[in-house]
Amino acid sequence: MTVAYWCVLIAAIMPLLGSTVAKAGAAGFDNRSVRPFLESQQGWRLRANWAQQNAYEAFPPFAAAVIIAHLTGGAAQATIDGWALAFVALRTLYMAMYILNAATLRSLVWTAAFACIIGLFVSAA
């Protein structure tokens, strides 16, 4: 399996990081009613939940881009791996910026991570 494919697995698991941060140690957590609990949170716990949701949204285009880049054979493996590693690193930073409420930096990091997806598609052309 390539590094980029491992990055797809990591990106698939990343939403769990946000939900774990949001729920860990929270008073009144009820595993039978997780979504209402998370939606009722405030501050960094609520932002962690939002980061979780955004990670789910970012996953499909990233996974598609990695798969397409592999299937077309238009890019060197090192290029595909580089874009994928950059995406995972930036998305990890994005989650941290979201939780820390660094909105402007978070948007810049989101843009850079999205550019990685574009880079994967362009490199496959």
Which pLDDT value is given to residue 74? 86
Predicted pLDDT at 29: 86
Per-residue model confidence (pLDDT) at position 28: 86
Alpha carbon 24 to chain centroid, angstroms: 19
DSSP strand E in 2-113: where? Answer: none
Report, as an integer, the average pLDDT of 16-36. Answer: 89
pLDDT at 30 > cutoff 90: no
User: How confident is the model at residue 9, as a pLDDT?
Assistant: 98
Question: Tens digits of per-residue pLDDT, 73-87?
Answer: 889 999 999 999 999
